[in-house]
Amino acid sequence: MSVGHVILERPWLYDLDVTIQGCSNFYSFVHKGKKIRLYPLPPKPTTPNKERIVVATKGLHIINPTAFEQVAISESVVFTIIVLKTLPYSSIPISNDTRQILQSFQDVFAEDLPNHLPPLRKI
């Protein structure tokens, strides 16, 4: 299936009585009394000696809060990464209603869940 089949839908070959010329690599059909031939696009010309523009990348900059505020005021877009330590488990208390529901479905929930995803499987 090609892009043309997606755009024109599959039945267009049958509805327009399309003739596929395999050796010549074109489709021909009659549409509104005119004979139409669809040819593939010619390949794009390439320039082997085209110079590539090298863009210098900026390195990692760690700044203090005062300098960050100055940059945030002067620039329109600022990206930041903030690293925080977190607890391995949630410290939010569980309500009694939630605890009762979890106990009633205890056979459904596993006690020890792995900290990683299962391996990919082929379908």
Provide the residue ranges of all domains of the chain, joining segments of one domain with +.
Answer: 3-38
Cα(78)–Cα(108) distance, rounded to whole angstroms?
A: 46
| Confidence at residue 112, expressed as pLDDT on a 0 to 100 scale | 76
Token pair for residue 14? 């049958």
Task: Round to whole Å and give the CA distance between 12 and 4.
Answer: 10
Segments of 9-103 assigned E as strands: 19-21, 26-31, 34-38
Which run of H or of E encompasses 100?
helix 96-104
First to last CA, the chain: 22
Q: What string of pLDDT tens digits covers the 123 residues of the chain?
A: 455 555 566 667 777 788 888 888 888 888 889 998 888 888 877 666 666 666 666 666 677 888 888 888 888 777 777 777 877 776 778 889 988 888 888 888 777 777 778 788 877
Tell me the pTM. 0.30
